Amino acid sequence: MVLVANLTDDAAGLLGSADTASLPVLPVAITWAVVIAGLVVVFVLPVRSLDLRRRRRRAEQRLDRREAQLLADAERSVCATTVAHDGRFAAAYAQQHLLPDRTFAAALTDAGIGTAAQVRRCPTTLVPWLCGPIGHDGHDLALRGADVSRAR
């Protein structure tokens, strides 16, 4: 209440009236509240918005760098340690590392997997991989097969 009384005294002084009783307290308090809220909107919210944009941009750059590194690693053989890949890495791995193998082409067609899927073979370990857009949604997958040469 003291703050409101001081504000009304200051407002009365600015208006040239010495009588503070003639100046209503509620409109002055509302005016000050609107001014303070306006200052918050004008100064605080844009700064926060810029900070959020900057953080989002940094996170996107980090993800882009990670994906670029992952795609660059697609040439390296991970056939001995991994059983499946999906998405863009699966497509890159199939194209950059695995070699085409026509041995199972007829079996894929007979199984109804589709003509887009293909069997490819790792040049290092000779393990077969089922690769390509598999399923109704056409999501790229690379699924490692069994290494029958080592089973004997």
> For 20-56, how does the pLDDT look when each residue is reduced to its tens digit (9 = 90+)?
556 678 888 898 999 998 888 888 888 888 999 999 9
Q: What one-letter code names the amino acid at 132? A: G
> For 111-149, how does the pLDDT look when each residue is reduced to its tens digit (9 = 90+)?
666 567 788 888 888 888 888 887 677 788 888 887 665
pLDDT at 2 > cutoff 50: no
The domain segmentation of the chain, as residue ranges, is: 2-69, 77-147
Decide if 88 contacts 63 (C-beta within 8 A). Answer: no
pLDDT at 87 > cutoff 80: yes
Give the pLDDT band of residue 4 (cuts 50, 70, 90): very low
The DSSP letter of residue 98 is P
